[in-house]
Amino acid sequence: DRVGRMADTLEYSDVAFPLSRFDEELIKELEKHAPSMVEYQRAEDGSEEIVIRHVYIERRMTPLNIWLHEGTDAQVEHGIIEYGNAIKELIAANIFPGDMLYKNFGVTRHGRVVFYDYDEIEYLTDCNVRRVPAPRNEEEEMSGEVWYTVRPHDIFPETYGTFLLGDPRVRAAFMRHHPDFFDAAMWQHHKDRLLAGHVHDFFAYHSQERFIHRYGSGATGPATEEPRRAA
Protein backbone atom coordinates (compact mmCIF):
# COMPACT_ATOMS: atom_id res chain seq x y z
CA ASP A 1 0.00 0.00 0.00
CA ARG A 2 2.09 2.89 -1.25
CA VAL A 3 -0.84 5.23 -0.68
CA GLY A 4 -0.85 4.92 3.10
CA ARG A 5 -4.63 4.50 3.18
CA MET A 6 -4.83 0.85 4.28
CA ALA A 7 -4.42 -0.31 7.86
CA ASP A 8 -1.41 -2.49 8.61
CA THR A 9 -2.12 -5.77 10.38
CA LEU A 10 0.78 -7.04 12.48
CA GLU A 11 1.12 -10.72 13.42
CA TYR A 12 2.54 -11.67 16.82
CA SER A 13 3.16 -14.87 18.77
CA ASP A 14 3.21 -15.45 22.53
CA VAL A 15 1.96 -12.02 23.55
CA ALA A 16 1.65 -11.60 27.33
CA PHE A 17 -0.81 -9.17 28.93
CA PRO A 18 -1.48 -8.47 32.61
CA LEU A 19 -4.49 -10.60 33.52
CA SER A 20 -5.91 -7.67 35.48
CA ARG A 21 -6.63 -5.86 32.22
CA PHE A 22 -9.13 -8.52 31.12
CA ASP A 23 -12.62 -8.70 32.56
CA GLU A 24 -14.15 -12.08 33.33
CA GLU A 25 -16.53 -11.98 30.36
CA LEU A 26 -13.69 -11.47 27.88
CA ILE A 27 -11.64 -14.29 29.41
CA LYS A 28 -14.60 -16.67 29.11
CA GLU A 29 -15.06 -15.62 25.49
CA LEU A 30 -11.41 -16.36 24.69
CA GLU A 31 -11.51 -19.72 26.47
CA LYS A 32 -14.69 -20.69 24.65
CA HIS A 33 -13.70 -19.75 21.09
CA ALA A 34 -9.89 -20.03 21.13
CA PRO A 35 -8.88 -22.27 24.04
CA SER A 36 -5.69 -23.48 22.35
CA MET A 37 -4.51 -19.89 21.90
CA VAL A 38 -4.74 -18.90 25.58
CA GLU A 39 -2.40 -19.77 28.45
CA TYR A 40 -1.66 -18.32 31.87
CA GLN A 41 1.64 -17.64 33.57
CA ARG A 42 3.22 -15.63 36.36
CA ALA A 43 5.38 -12.64 35.58
CA GLU A 44 8.71 -12.00 37.28
CA ASP A 45 7.02 -9.69 39.78
CA GLY A 46 4.57 -12.45 40.73
CA SER A 47 1.54 -10.97 38.96
CA GLU A 48 -0.64 -13.15 36.72
CA GLU A 49 -0.46 -12.82 32.95
CA ILE A 50 -2.54 -14.14 30.08
CA VAL A 51 -0.54 -15.27 27.06
CA ILE A 52 -2.14 -15.27 23.61
CA ARG A 53 -0.22 -17.66 21.39
CA HIS A 54 -1.18 -16.14 18.04
CA VAL A 55 -2.71 -12.72 17.55
CA TYR A 56 -3.17 -10.06 14.87
CA ILE A 57 -2.92 -6.47 16.03
CA GLU A 58 -4.03 -3.28 14.27
CA ARG A 59 -3.62 0.30 15.37
CA ARG A 60 -6.48 1.69 17.42
CA MET A 61 -8.81 3.87 15.36
CA THR A 62 -12.22 5.44 15.68
CA PRO A 63 -14.59 3.79 13.17
CA LEU A 64 -15.56 6.45 10.66
CA ASN A 65 -19.29 5.79 11.05
CA ILE A 66 -19.01 6.59 14.78
CA TRP A 67 -16.83 9.63 14.06
CA LEU A 68 -19.46 11.00 11.66
CA HIS A 69 -22.37 10.22 13.98
CA GLU A 70 -20.91 11.69 17.15
CA GLY A 71 -18.60 14.39 15.79
CA THR A 72 -19.01 18.14 15.61
CA ASP A 73 -19.82 19.77 12.29
CA ALA A 74 -16.11 20.51 11.80
CA GLN A 75 -15.18 16.89 12.54
CA VAL A 76 -17.83 15.60 10.14
CA GLU A 77 -16.49 17.84 7.40
CA HIS A 78 -12.93 16.73 8.09
CA GLY A 79 -14.00 13.07 8.06
CA ILE A 80 -15.77 13.39 4.72
CA ILE A 81 -12.89 15.27 3.11
CA GLU A 82 -10.53 12.55 4.30
CA TYR A 83 -12.88 9.72 3.27
CA GLY A 84 -13.21 11.08 -0.26
CA ASN A 85 -9.47 11.67 -0.51
CA ALA A 86 -8.74 8.16 0.77
CA ILE A 87 -10.86 6.47 -1.89
CA LYS A 88 -9.64 8.75 -4.67
CA GLU A 89 -6.05 7.96 -3.73
CA LEU A 90 -6.77 4.24 -3.53
CA ILE A 91 -8.38 4.08 -6.97
CA ALA A 92 -5.58 6.23 -8.41
CA ALA A 93 -3.26 3.46 -7.20
CA ASN A 94 -5.49 0.80 -8.85
CA ILE A 95 -7.10 -0.31 -5.58
CA PHE A 96 -10.90 -0.55 -5.63
CA PRO A 97 -12.11 -0.94 -2.01
CA GLY A 98 -15.33 -2.76 -2.87
CA ASP A 99 -17.34 -2.27 0.31
CA MET A 100 -17.16 1.47 0.94
CA LEU A 101 -19.48 1.73 3.94
CA TYR A 102 -18.19 4.13 6.57
CA LYS A 103 -17.88 1.32 9.10
CA ASN A 104 -15.06 -0.16 7.02
CA PHE A 105 -12.91 2.93 7.49
CA GLY A 106 -11.25 4.32 10.58
CA VAL A 107 -9.87 7.65 11.75
CA THR A 108 -6.36 7.58 13.23
CA ARG A 109 -5.27 9.74 16.14
CA HIS A 110 -3.78 12.11 13.57
CA GLY A 111 -7.16 12.49 11.85
CA ARG A 112 -6.26 10.45 8.79
CA VAL A 113 -8.89 8.12 7.31
CA VAL A 114 -7.71 4.62 6.39
CA PHE A 115 -9.42 1.52 5.02
CA TYR A 116 -9.38 -1.74 6.97
CA ASP A 117 -11.82 -4.20 5.36
CA TYR A 118 -10.18 -6.02 2.46
CA ASP A 119 -12.82 -8.70 1.76
CA GLU A 120 -14.02 -7.21 -1.55
CA ILE A 121 -10.88 -5.44 -2.71
CA GLU A 122 -9.89 -5.69 -6.39
CA TYR A 123 -8.01 -3.81 -9.10
CA LEU A 124 -9.85 -0.83 -10.54
CA THR A 125 -8.60 -1.88 -13.96
CA ASP A 126 -10.57 -5.12 -13.54
CA CYS A 127 -13.79 -3.19 -12.90
CA ASN A 128 -16.33 -2.12 -15.50
CA VAL A 129 -17.31 1.46 -14.69
CA ARG A 130 -20.91 1.94 -15.78
CA ARG A 131 -23.71 4.47 -15.64
CA VAL A 132 -27.20 3.35 -14.71
CA PRO A 133 -29.04 3.07 -18.04
CA ALA A 134 -32.16 5.12 -18.63
CA PRO A 135 -35.40 3.19 -17.98
CA ARG A 136 -37.08 1.93 -21.11
CA ASN A 137 -40.63 2.16 -19.80
CA GLU A 138 -42.70 3.30 -16.83
CA GLU A 139 -42.51 -0.11 -15.16
CA GLU A 140 -38.71 0.04 -15.04
CA GLU A 141 -38.77 3.67 -13.92
CA MET A 142 -41.04 2.87 -10.94
CA SER A 143 -39.38 -0.43 -10.04
CA GLY A 144 -38.00 -0.78 -6.53
CA GLU A 145 -35.56 -3.44 -7.71
CA VAL A 146 -32.53 -3.27 -9.98
CA TRP A 147 -34.02 -3.82 -13.42
CA TYR A 148 -30.84 -3.59 -15.50
CA THR A 149 -28.20 -6.27 -15.96
CA VAL A 150 -25.31 -6.25 -13.48
CA ARG A 151 -22.34 -8.43 -14.35
CA PRO A 152 -19.36 -9.39 -12.18
CA HIS A 153 -16.98 -6.44 -11.68
CA ASP A 154 -19.60 -3.87 -12.76
CA ILE A 155 -19.58 -0.72 -10.61
CA PHE A 156 -22.14 2.09 -10.67
CA PRO A 157 -20.74 5.16 -8.85
CA GLU A 158 -23.98 7.14 -9.13
CA THR A 159 -25.69 4.59 -6.86
CA TYR A 160 -23.25 5.07 -3.97
CA GLY A 161 -25.19 7.99 -2.58
CA THR A 162 -27.93 5.62 -1.42
CA PHE A 163 -25.78 4.29 1.40
CA LEU A 164 -23.41 7.24 1.90
CA LEU A 165 -25.62 10.33 2.01
CA GLY A 166 -28.35 9.48 4.53
CA ASP A 167 -27.17 11.99 7.14
CA PRO A 168 -27.88 15.65 6.20
CA ARG A 169 -24.54 16.86 7.61
CA VAL A 170 -22.66 14.18 5.73
CA ARG A 171 -24.54 14.93 2.51
CA ALA A 172 -23.79 18.65 2.74
CA ALA A 173 -20.08 18.06 3.34
CA PHE A 174 -19.86 15.39 0.65
CA MET A 175 -21.50 17.47 -2.05
CA ARG A 176 -19.40 20.46 -1.06
CA HIS A 177 -16.04 18.67 -1.32
CA HIS A 178 -16.48 15.52 -3.43
CA PRO A 179 -19.45 15.94 -5.82
CA ASP A 180 -17.51 14.08 -8.53
CA PHE A 181 -17.45 10.95 -6.35
CA PHE A 182 -20.83 9.90 -7.77
CA ASP A 183 -19.86 10.60 -11.38
CA ALA A 184 -18.74 7.57 -13.38
CA ALA A 185 -16.45 9.87 -15.39
CA MET A 186 -14.15 10.41 -12.40
CA TRP A 187 -13.73 6.68 -11.85
CA GLN A 188 -13.27 5.98 -15.56
CA HIS A 189 -10.68 8.77 -15.76
CA HIS A 190 -8.53 7.06 -13.13
CA LYS A 191 -8.95 3.69 -14.84
CA ASP A 192 -7.93 5.13 -18.22
CA ARG A 193 -4.82 6.74 -16.71
CA LEU A 194 -3.84 3.45 -15.09
CA LEU A 195 -4.30 1.54 -18.34
CA ALA A 196 -2.16 4.16 -20.07
CA GLY A 197 0.66 3.44 -17.63
CA HIS A 198 0.37 6.60 -15.54
CA VAL A 199 1.86 6.39 -12.04
CA HIS A 200 0.16 8.80 -9.66
CA ASP A 201 2.11 10.69 -7.00
CA PHE A 202 0.87 10.53 -3.40
CA PHE A 203 1.73 12.64 -0.39
CA ALA A 204 0.96 11.21 3.03
CA TYR A 205 1.32 14.62 4.66
CA HIS A 206 -0.41 17.97 4.26
CA SER A 207 0.53 19.57 0.93
CA GLN A 208 1.52 22.78 2.71
CA GLU A 209 4.46 20.84 4.17
CA ARG A 210 5.89 20.10 0.72
CA PHE A 211 9.09 21.96 -0.15
CA ILE A 212 7.54 23.08 -3.43
CA HIS A 213 4.97 25.07 -1.45
CA ARG A 214 7.19 26.13 1.43
CA TYR A 215 10.13 27.30 -0.70
CA GLY A 216 8.83 27.43 -4.27
CA SER A 217 6.19 29.39 -6.15
CA GLY A 218 3.71 28.87 -8.91
CA ALA A 219 3.17 25.18 -8.22
CA THR A 220 -0.15 23.46 -7.80
CA GLY A 221 -1.01 20.96 -5.10
CA PRO A 222 -2.42 17.45 -5.37
CA ALA A 223 -5.79 16.82 -6.97
CA THR A 224 -7.44 15.70 -3.76
CA GLU A 225 -9.22 18.10 -1.43
CA GLU A 226 -7.11 19.39 1.45
CA PRO A 227 -8.52 18.27 4.80
CA ARG A 228 -8.50 20.50 7.79
CA ARG A 229 -6.18 19.44 10.53
CA ALA A 230 -7.94 17.29 13.10
CA ALA A 231 -8.72 18.99 16.37
Do the beta carbons of residue 200 and residue 92 sit within 8 Å? Answer: yes
The 10 Å Cβ neighbour count of residue 139 is 9
- CA pair distance 181, 60, nearest whole angstrom: 28
Alpha helices in the chain (DSSP H): 24-33, 64-70, 73-92, 138-142, 161-164, 168-177, 184-195, 211-214
Verify whether residue 117 is a known catalytic residue: no
- Calculate Rg over the CA atoms of the chain: 22
Q: Which of 8, 14, 126, 192 is catalytic?
A: 8
- CA pair distance 155, 181, nearest whole angstrom: 13
- Residues with catalytic roles: 8
